Structure 1
Amino acid sequence: MAKLVRFTDKQRMQTLAEFRYALRQFLHFSEERAAEAGLHPQQHQLLLHIAGAPDGVETTVSYAAERLGLRHHSVVELSKRCEEAGLIARRHDATDKRFVLLQVTPQGRRVLRALSDDHERELSELVPRLIGSLNLIRKSGMHRVQADSDPGDRGDLK
């Protein structure tokens, strides 16, 4: 069993801040690459979630809305823009016309492949930092409430 290392509040905040910074760097990188490819970041994310859906999962508008954290009507509009750009095809489900299925087109796959290559390279550099932060979080027991903490402590840093 891993030994728990007690962190001070300052160390906890530094570790969490570093992890959040690394995540934000990756998101910024992703947004920039999408723009360079002529896509809005949400268009890139939609393509990625459609192409990366697990086998047997219907890539409906509802599925995409859940994965993107958007409302159904927002994904309808986003998918229409992607269809107009030739990135995806939309079609009604054969058995239930209420469902719209989304599929990445060959053009969309080419764009997504190029973006994914860039993202893999960036992640290969970033992953060690993310893993290091996660290991520190795990070893410190940050996910547990410390029994020795002062109940009156509001988390103010000193």
Structure 2
Amino acid sequence: MAAPLITQSIEIDASAEAVWAVVSDLRRMGEWSPQCKKMIIRNGPVGLGTRTININRRGPLIWPTTAKVVRFSPTRELAFRVAENHTVWSYTIEPNGSGVTVTEKREVPEGKTTKVSSVLVDKFMGGTTNFEAELKLGMAETLDKIKRAAESSGARAA
């Protein structure tokens, strides 16, 4: 059984708009994520209902997934649901005293992924515990890269 929620947060000294510009540009996901190497937008600009094809990599393993944007609130939240394992990945942006706090989450309703996903994680990715620890470290890496991109954009928080 998968953890129902994995979460990681970071403080960013930039405006919500600057952070949103980075987070919502899903074509750049390969720059941020250590696992999702590419997101291909299938239909129009990113918004509610946008569908993507994703190319993922972990060591020598490469696999595709598809996703659909299920929550989209500019400058506040972006979430997409991965069809192959039913997980929901999200980024929330909350103002704080000097900028924003960005939280990345992986949600697994009731801790249940698909049978195929469970078998692959167990047989090829070191088991659920190891894989989820790796995901949490990956979230920290992703958020750090988002922070650097947003802060270097020059749009500091007021």
* Larger strand percent: 2
TM-score (norm 2): 0.34
**Structure whose alpha-carbon radius of gyration is higher:** 1
TM-score (norm 1): 0.34
* Larger helix percent: 1
